[in-house]
Amino acid sequence: MNLELGEEQTAVRQLARDFVDREIAPHVVAWDRAEEVDRGIVKKLGEVGFLGLTIDEEYGGSGGDHLAYCLVTEELGRGDSSVRGIVSVSLGLVAKTIAAWGDEEQKRRWLPGLTSGAYVGCFGLTEPGTGSDAGNLSTRAVRDGDDYVINGTKMFITNGTWADVVLLFARSTDAPGHKGVSAFLVPADTPGLSRRTVHGKLGLRGQATAELVLEDVRVPASAMLAPEGKGFSVAMSALAKGRMSVAAGCVGIAQAALDAAVRYAGEREQFGKSIAHHQLVQELLSDIAVDVDAARLLTWRVADLIDRGQPFATESSKAKLFASEAAVRAANNALQVFGGYGYIDEYPAGKLLRDARVMTLYEGTSQIQKLLIGRALTGVSAF
Ligand code: FAD
């Protein structure tokens, strides 16, 4: 793997840095306190091409490789994980999945809107009673003539209240376990679909997280994405790439923690000198720096594998596992460098820690990543 960034990748990273500094950084604290990111950011993300990365220009995408996607995601994660999540879900989990599995009509219907920011997408897999064991979901889609009628509840859905389209997973046959699961593209304004904001989150407070309730939601059979019974494969392939995006967001969090902590250590004086002079503070900083580099290299390796058409799912689990735990450690270490000031939201460390924490939970908890890696190593499923 070539560790040097190419000209295009360097340019896209700079574009993302400038975007974050201009459009996100000035609002981070206000959005977090208000528990809502300004929705106008979606349009801006679309205009600059970040919602179309890796998608063909034919469908409104902006092209680019997965390393470019990682670089942009990392920068957005450095700025505000609530904004980063909009892209990771609307592009990463929804648009990329439609591009990979959709028929021509589905691609033409949804991709131009998702890549321009005219539409927001959400990914409806988790249910109140089914999280890690996602293949065991109980939302039902029953065939009725040319339609399916869907009933069920989805929980913790990122972008849920903003979404125009839900990539929804439901049981459509009596085949056992995940074999009976199919994927559907459900317009969010379909009668019978209601949504409720999930309040009181520890982090990602600016993000529109929702519970979706589906009561006799009727969609045409043409809304099914991929063949019947393939829904679980659709979800797992989306999450395998999605984990790389979460990992990249975590690298951004850890980098933001490092930048802030180093700056503060040079400014803050105790015992007659800046705290950067104290060896134990340097230990905190060096621990963060190593976490940043290790997480970044694991994440870039996944991008490189995808771009070269190699298997990447286990490497994506490793990157997500390490980077999410590293982001929590890095933000916590940065908070320690800030002392009492780290505990108030005028300084960034507290929010970075709150935002990092969920990364070890969603798109498969750390335990689930270990089971995926363990299965790849041993051939034995320990779920
Ligand atoms: P559970 O599955 O109940 O797990 C509880 C604990 O048990 C965890 O520690 C877990 O690791 C452990 N555990 C479970 N099974 C095993 C096992 N076999 N071996 C060892 N340990 C095990 N979902 C979506 O579909 N779309 C979204 O957009 C989305 N966004 C989210 C945003 C936020 C802010 C949050 C908090 C969640 C989001 N989720 C989303 C849901 C998320 O993916 C789930 O919360 C996650 O998969 C864990 O499921 P659970 O919460 O039901 O926990």
pLDDT at 340: 98
Report the residue among 35, 126, 355 best suited for mutation to probe ligand 1: largest number of ligand atoms under 8 A from its CB.
Answer: 126
Q: How many angstroms separate the CA atoms of 298 and 64, rounded?
A: 20
pLDDT at 379: 98
* Ligand 1 atom with least separation from CA of 134: 47
pLDDT at 126: 98
Kindly give the distance from the C-alpha atom of residue 365 to the centroid of ligand 1, in angstroms, as a whole number.
Answer: 6
Kindly give the distance from the C-alpha atom of residue 132 to the centroid of ligand 1, in angstroms, as a whole number.
Answer: 5
Q: What is the mean pLDDT of each run of 10 residues along the chain (383 residues)?
A: 86 98 97 96 98 97 96 98 98 98 98 98 98 97 98 98 98 93 98 97 97 98 97 98 98 98 98 98 98 98 97 98 98 98 96 98 98 98 96
pLDDT at 2: 72
Atom 8 (ligand 1): residue with closest C-alpha? Answer: 365
pLDDT at 3: 79
363 is catalytic: yes
Kindly give the distance from the C-alpha atom of residue 4 to the centroid of ligand 1, in angstroms, as a whole number.
Answer: 36
pTM for the structure as a whole: 0.98
pLDDT at 80: 98
Helix (H), strand (E), coil (C) string for the chain: CCCCCCHHHHHHHHHHHHHHHHHHHHHHHHHHHHCCCCCHHHHHHHHCCCCCECCCHHHCCCECCHHHHHHHHHHHHHHCHHHHHHHHHHHHHHHHHHHHHCCHHHHHHHHHHHHHCCCCEEEECCECCECCCHHHCCCEEEEECCEEEEEEEEEEEECCCCCCEEEEEEECCCCCHHHHEEEEEEECCCCCEEEEECCCCCCCCCCCEEEEEEEEEEEEHHHEECCCCCHHHHHHHHHHHHHHHHHHHHHHHHHHHHHHHHHHHHHCEECCEEHHHCHHHHHHHHHHHHHHHHHHHHHHHHHHHHHCCCCCHHHHHHHHHHHHHHHHHHHHHHHHHHHHHHHCCCCCHHHHHHHHHHHHCCCCCHHHHHHHHHHHHHCCCCC
Atom 23 (ligand 1): residue with closest C-alpha? Answer: 126
ipTM: 0.99
Atom 27 (ligand 1): residue with closest C-alpha? Answer: 157
Q: Which residues line ligand 1 (CB under 6 A)?
A: 89, 122-126, 131-132, 156-158, 201, 204, 209, 358, 361-363, 365, 367-368, 371, 383
Kindly give the distance from the C-alpha atom of residue 347 to the centroid of ligand 1, in angstroms, as a whole number.
Answer: 30
* Ligand 1 atom with least separation from CA of 132: 2
- Tell me the residue length of the chain: 383
Atom 31 (ligand 1): residue with closest C-alpha? Answer: 156
Report the residue among 159, 198, 365 best suited for mutation to probe ligand 1: largest number of ligand atoms under 8 A from its CB.
Answer: 365
Kindly give the distance from the C-alpha atom of residue 366 to the centroid of ligand 1, in angstroms, as a whole number.
Answer: 10
Kindly give the distance from the C-alpha atom of residue 326 to the centroid of ligand 1, in angstroms, as a whole number.
Answer: 19
pLDDT at 4: 86
Contact 65, 54 (CB under 8 A): yes
